[in-house]
Amino acid sequence: MKNIFKKRIIIPILAGVLFISTTAFKNDFFEIAKQIEIFTTLFKELNMNYVDETNPGDLMDTAIKSMLADLDPYTNFMNEQDVEAARINNTGDYTGIGAKIQTKKDKLIIIEPYKGYPADKAGLKAGDEIIKVGNTLIEGYEDYPGDLLKGAPDSSVEVVFKRQGKTQTATIKRAEVEIKAVPHFSMINDKTGYIVLSKFNKKAHAETNYALRDLKAQGAENIVLDLRGNPGGLLREAIKIVNLFVPKNQLVVTTKSKVKKYNRTYLTTDEPIDTEIPLVILIDGKSASASEIVSGALQDLDRAVIVGSRSFGKGLVQRPKILTYGTQVKITISRYYTPSGRCIQALDYWNRNEKGEAVKVKQENYNAFKTKNGRQVFDGGGVFPDAQVGSYKISPITTAIVNNNLIFDYATKYHYSHNISDINSLKLSDADFSDFKNYLKTNNFTFETDTEKALKKAYEIAQKEELNDNIDRDYNTLISNLNTSKTNIIDENKDYLLELLTKDIVKQYVYREGLYEYLEIHDNEIKKATNILATPTTYQGYLK
């Protein structure tokens, strides 16, 4: 009788829970269905009745991108072209001409030919502007013009290009192209090995493993792992790379999500290569995601000294979901946490300012955590280096200079106007920097600051209100002072700009491989790393 009574109580409770859960699901489902129906009818009416011709594909593309823009910059719709680009990024393999290319509306610009690959063998160089591929002109071509360079292995394509204003032709024989995760490793000195890990694709662990074993065989007693400029990639590769230096069953990262199945704890699963070899990791403001998992985990475990400048601060994990017609959506599914429990996400996309911009987590809101040895580390703003080197306060003006390709364009100009026999002797001078500033002027570089925009708006309002003529004089004075200030900001960023110029110039003379050899001699972060590793007490001092 008691059992029957218990069942009578339990069954209604379970039914109530089921009813509540089902009702909640139905409410969500109804709201989703309702909004889709509204959008579908709106989309139909708009395309049928709008006064001018509409392009349904363009309208839908805008609608999807606008919707996702309200979330975060990593939740993205991927068309078929994007899906293929993601595949290449993850695998590191494709068939083509073997060059990094920038697409513009009327040309394809060779940014970097890969040494020994088809574009390089055909004589193409950085700065060459491809204007025709086969019988197809790039100008006016409606599809993605970069696809014209792809094709079957051993197939040939003729390209017409401009170099320093002169039109030339070349025939390129396509081939399989392998983009290495580890483009370079070598011995810096007789005891220190240097590994550059540029991306976390499917080959990242295997190539880093090979480089580490090879360097140890050459006599390396210390390792410098360079993650600068590495934007991240596959999470599992990051965990495997941490595993090279720490024991099996060690916690590396935890992911937390509102969806229970995405809550995961990731431990190392293999036997390590070396848990004792002194290790320095180099990071900068472009080291993100998987780079921050590796550097953050090894910092928390006191297994490496971190050198450089604060990392980007991306503590979010994405997963692609397959859609119809070969498309995908990449969705942010969780946040990740390093072994100490910190999330290094720097921007808050869910509490934006009045302009709708994501705000940085304020330093006073950072939370303190402890490493394995009890050292204090913080969340909220990327991975902070143990030894800070090469940290620049980058202004919007210098960012605009980079984004407008003026660093690359000047490097190309420099390459064709300077004959350098020994690239390792290159050191840009004050005269070179002055020449660069003149180059900005002659190429009509302009950057309108937020201050200028606000002043312009105020001036226009003043004119409408017919205020006195003194405003004209004051406005012109303010604009003149702002232009002087902008010139001063460029001067204040001289070291940063010269560093970028030097790297691009070196690469144009001796490819990426030669750049790494140049950095081994001249780079301040590498020098700091080797100095730390040169003395065991100095190295251990950072970890205690």
Which pLDDT tens digit goes with each residue over 350-400?
A: 888 877 788 887 787 889 999 999 999 999 889 999 999 988 888 889 999
At 158 the three-state DSSP class reads strand
Give the mean pLDDT of the chain: 90
Q: How many CB atoms lie within 10 A of CB 45?
A: 10
At residue 469, the pLDDT reads 65
At residue 295, the pLDDT reads 98
Give DSSP secondary structure letters for 241-297: HHHTTS-TT-EEEEEE-SSGGG-EEEE--S--S-SSS-EEEEE-TT--THHHHHHHH
Asked whether residue 542 is assigned to any structural domain, the reply reads no
Q: Determine the Cα–Cα distance for residues 527 and 530; give it in Å rounded to an integer.
A: 5
Q: Determine the Cα–Cα distance for residues 170 and 159; give it in Å rounded to an integer.
A: 5
Q: 11 has which bridge partners?
A: none
CA contacts within 13 A on the Cβ side of 411: 28
At residue 27, the pLDDT reads 59
Asked if 223 and 196 touch (Cβ cutoff 8 Å), the reply is no
Which residues belong to the active site? 289, 314
* Residue at token pair 């992911």: 255
**365 and 414 together in one domain:** no
Phi/psi for 94 (5° steps) reads -165, 170
Q: Which H/E stretch holds residue 122?
A: none
Asked whether residue 538 is assigned to any structural domain, the reply reads no
Q: Determine the Cα–Cα distance for residues 171 and 90; give it in Å rounded to an integer.
A: 29
Which pLDDT tens digit goes with each residue over 199-242?
A: 999 999 999 999 999 999 999 999 999 999 999 999 999 999 99
**156 and 260 together in one domain:** no
Asked whether residue 530 is assigned to any structural domain, the reply reads no
Asked whether residue 489 is assigned to any structural domain, the reply reads yes
Q: What total number of domains does the chain contain? A: 4
Q: Which H/E stretch holds residue 414?
A: helix 406-417
Tell me the residue range of the domain where 168 lies: 93-178
Cα 370-375-377 angle, rounded to 5 deg: 60
At residue 462, the pLDDT reads 77
* Residue at token pair 């007789």: 190
**188 and 260 together in one domain:** yes
**46 and 147 together in one domain:** no
The helix-helix angle for 430-442 and 470-492 (nearest 10°) equals: 140
Asked if 268 and 239 touch (Cβ cutoff 8 Å), the reply is yes
**264 and 348 together in one domain:** yes
**354 and 439 together in one domain:** no
Q: How many CB atoms lie within 10 A of CB 75?
A: 18
**381 and 400 together in one domain:** no
**457 and 475 together in one domain:** yes
Cα distances (Å, whole numbers) of residue 78 to 85, 141, 270: 10, 21, 34
Residue stretches of the chain with pLDDT short of 50: 1-25
Among 365, 391, 417, identify where a domain stops.
Answer: 391
DSSP state of 424: G
Asked whether residue 483 is assigned to any structural domain, the reply reads yes
**311 and 446 together in one domain:** no
* CATH number, residue 148: 2.30.42.10
Asked whether residue 77 is assigned to any structural domain, the reply reads no
At residue 23, the pLDDT reads 45
Asked whether residue 139 is assigned to any structural domain, the reply reads yes
* Burial of 452 (C-beta count, 10 Å sphere; 0-12/13-18/19+): middle
**121 and 233 together in one domain:** no
**263 and 380 together in one domain:** yes
At residue 21, the pLDDT reads 44
The sign one gets for the Cα dihedral 207, 209, 212, 216 is: negative
Amino acid at 489: I
**340 and 405 together in one domain:** no
At residue 55, the pLDDT reads 92
Give the pTM.
0.87
CA torsion, ordered 404, 410, 412, 416, to nearest 10 deg: 160
Among 150, 178, 206, identify where a domain stops.
Answer: 178
DSSP state of 298: H
Q: Determine the Cα–Cα distance for residues 420 and 415; give it in Å rounded to an integer.
A: 9
Among 69, 84, 119, identify where a domain stops.
Answer: 69
Asked whether residue 9 is assigned to any structural domain, the reply reads no
